[in-house]
């Protein structure tokens, strides 16, 4: 039954179609390149504009200040990017950790309360990290063991954290002071404060871990195509659990930085969540694979930080920043859906 005789007899055409597919491949590649280069150009343009127009923007001290103000956001956004990488980029079913902001608040409260209760810094740090990791474990349990959608699971955990924070702090500002806290804000090395160095160190470590090791590659496989990861013999649930616990630990680290910067804990620190989601989503446009990345997240965070700082220097109302963030979210989500429409994923 020689059904497709025609196809057999037309090698010339088929050859050209193979070339066409190569061209299709190149085109898809160029598209992601254009997005990436365009985004970097936009970032450079915005910074260049502020450098010229906003007095004192390009000042080294001011730039260090931007980094310092961005540290807490960056640590949380790194966590988010790791969770999204491992859980997959699907906005509804993919990985997301909405509890990061609330976890930050809870951990900051835990640190100040522990510190005020007379525990030494190392013990308080250990308690804080344990709280952060525990929250991550609860997330992981709900997502991995119970199979709840991450979006819903972490939303519930966000509420639990918020409640626990209120119980700890009675919804009040608690001030704290400890050698560690003053070291983080006070000490400096090579002109950069310890806060800056925490960000630099975390970024380097995470870039190496996520983008340079076997663990990171496999994590991306788990998020990119779970079946393929399973077929390659990877233990998917271990990787997923790992992402939420790592996110919790990073939130605890961010909480200590936050406690240092605010000299204690104050309610409302969970409000940072929207910026965390934005910067992690935005990191996609800086990546060759159109995936969240640590480096891209860092660029996004600095971009947003620079934007806020520049607006302040230009005496533009900070309300505008909200509008700009909203436009950015729309832009990033649009780019993502366009790239998905390629149909290859």
Partner 1 sequence: MAEPALALRDLVKTFGATRALDGANLVVERGTVHGLIGQNGAGKSTIIKILGGLYKADGGTIAINGKPLAHVSPRAIEHLGVHIIHQEALLVPTFTVAEALFLGAEPGLGPLLSPRIMRKRAEEVIGRYFDVTLPRGALIGELSPAHRQIVQITRALLNRPSVLVFDEPTAALVRREANRLFGLIRRLRDEGTSIVYISHYLEEVQDLCDRVTILRNGRDVATVDPRDTPMPQIVSLMINRDIDDMFPKVPVPIGKPALTVQGLGRRGHFSDVDFTLHEGEILGLTGLVGSGAKDVLQAIFGLEPADQGSIITHGKQGAINSPASAIRRGLGLVPEDRRGQGIALDISVRENTTLASLGKLTRFGFISRRREGKAVAGLIARLGIKTPGPDARVRDLSGGNQQKVVLAKWLSADSDIYVLDEPTVAIDVAAKVEIYRLLGDLAQRGAAVLILSSDLLELQGICDRILVMYRGHVTHQLRPAETTPEAILAAATGAAAPAEKVAA
- How many residues sit close enough to partner 1 to count as binding (CB under 8 A)? 49
Minimal distance, residue 11 CB to partner 1, in Å: 6
Full DSSP string of 169-212: HTTS-EE---HHHHHHHH-EETTEEHHHHHHHHHHHHHHHHHHH
Task: Give the Cα separation of 54 and 177 in Å (integer).
Answer: 35
Can residue 17 be called a binding residue for partner 1 (CB under 8 A)? Answer: yes
Kindly state the tokens that stand for 64.
């260090």
DSSP conformation class of 104: H
Binders of partner 1 in range 48-67 (CB under 8 A): none
Binders of partner 1 in range 169-208 (CB under 8 A): 208
Residue placing its CB nearer to partner 1 in the complex, 15 or 271? 15
Task: Give the Cα separation of 247 and 237 in Å (integer).
Answer: 15
Can residue 26 be called a binding residue for partner 1 (CB under 8 A)? Answer: yes
Task: Give the Cα separation of 238 and 249 in Å (integer).
Answer: 16
3-state class (DSSP) for residue 338: helix
The single residue listed with the structure tokens 């590659």 is 217
Q: How far is CA 13 from CA 7, 20, 24, 26, 334, in A?
A: 9, 11, 16, 20, 36
Residue placing its CB nearer to partner 1 in the complex, 28 or 274? 28
Binders of partner 1 in range 202-261 (CB under 8 A): 208, 212-215, 217-218, 220-221, 224-225, 227-234
Minimal distance, residue 82 CB to partner 1, in Å: 15
Minimal distance, residue 27 CB to partner 1, in Å: 9
- For strands 264-265 and 192-193, give the pairing: unpaired
Task: Give the Cα separation of 269 and 6 in Å (integer).
Answer: 68
One of 77, 157, 290, 301 touching partner 1 (CB under 8 A):
290
Binders of partner 1 in range 149-168 (CB under 8 A): none
One of 24, 49, 120, 123 touching partner 1 (CB under 8 A):
24
The single residue listed with the structure tokens 């979210």 is 329
Residue placing its CB nearer to partner 1 in the complex, 21 or 122? 21
Stretch that binds partner 1, among 102-110, 236-244, 285-293, 305-313 (CB under 8 A): 285-293
CA 240 from centroid of its chain's CA atoms? 16
**x-or-dash string of contact with partner 1, 308-327, rule CB under 8 A:** --------------------
Which residues, in sequence order, are CB contacts of 175 under 8 Å at separation 6+?
112, 263, 264
Stretch that binds partner 1, among 134-142, 178-186, 283-291, 305-313 (CB under 8 A): 283-291
Kindly state the tokens that stand for 202.
């975390």
Binding site for partner 1 (CB under 8 A): 1-11, 13-15, 17-18, 21-22, 24-26, 28-29, 208, 212-215, 217-218, 220-221, 224-225, 227-234, 288-291, 342, 344-345
């Amino acid at each position: 039954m020689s059904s497709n005789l025609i196809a057999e007899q037309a090698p010339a055409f088929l050859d050209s179609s193979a070339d066409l597919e190569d061209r299709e491949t190149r085109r898809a590649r160029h598209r992601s390149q254009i997005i990436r280069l365009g985004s970097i150009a936009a970032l450079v343009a915005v910074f260049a504009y502020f450098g010229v127009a906003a007095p004192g923007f390009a000042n080294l001290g001011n730039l260090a200040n931007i980094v310092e103000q961005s540290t807490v956001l960056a640590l949380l956004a790194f966590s988010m990017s790791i969770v999204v990488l491992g859980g997959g980029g699907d906005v509804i079913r993919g990985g997301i950790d909405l509890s990061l902001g609330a976890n930050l608040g809870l951990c900051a409260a835990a640190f100040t309360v522990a510190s005020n209760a007379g525990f030494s810094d190392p013990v308080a740090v250990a308690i804080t990290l344990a709280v952060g990791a525990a929250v991550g474990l609860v997330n992981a349990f709900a997502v991995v063991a119970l199979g709840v959608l991450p979006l819903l699971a972490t939303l519930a955990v966000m509420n639990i954290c918020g409640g626990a924070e209120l119980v700890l702090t009675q919804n009040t500002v608690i001030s704290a002071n400890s050698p560690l806290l003053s070291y983080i804000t006070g000490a400096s090395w090579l002109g950069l404060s310890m806060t800056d160095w925490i960000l630099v160190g975390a970024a380097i470590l995470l870039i190496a871990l996520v983008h340079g090791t076997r663990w990171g590659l496999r994590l991306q496989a788990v998020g990119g195509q779970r079946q393929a990861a399973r077929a390659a013999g990877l233990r998917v649930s271990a990787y997923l659990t790992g992402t939420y616990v790592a996110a919790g630990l990073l939130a605890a680290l961010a909480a200590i930085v936050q406690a240092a910067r605010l000299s204690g804990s104050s309610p409302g620190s969970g409000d940072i969540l929207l910026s965390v989601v934005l910067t992690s989503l935005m990191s996609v446009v800086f990546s060759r694979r159109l995936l969240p990345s640590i480096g891209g997240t860092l660029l996004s965070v600095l971009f947003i930080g620079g934007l806020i700082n520049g607006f302040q220097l230009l005496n533009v109302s900070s309300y505008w920043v909200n509008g700009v963030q909203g436009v950015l979210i729309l832009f990033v989500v649009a780019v993502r859906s366009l790239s998905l429409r390629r149909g290859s994923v």
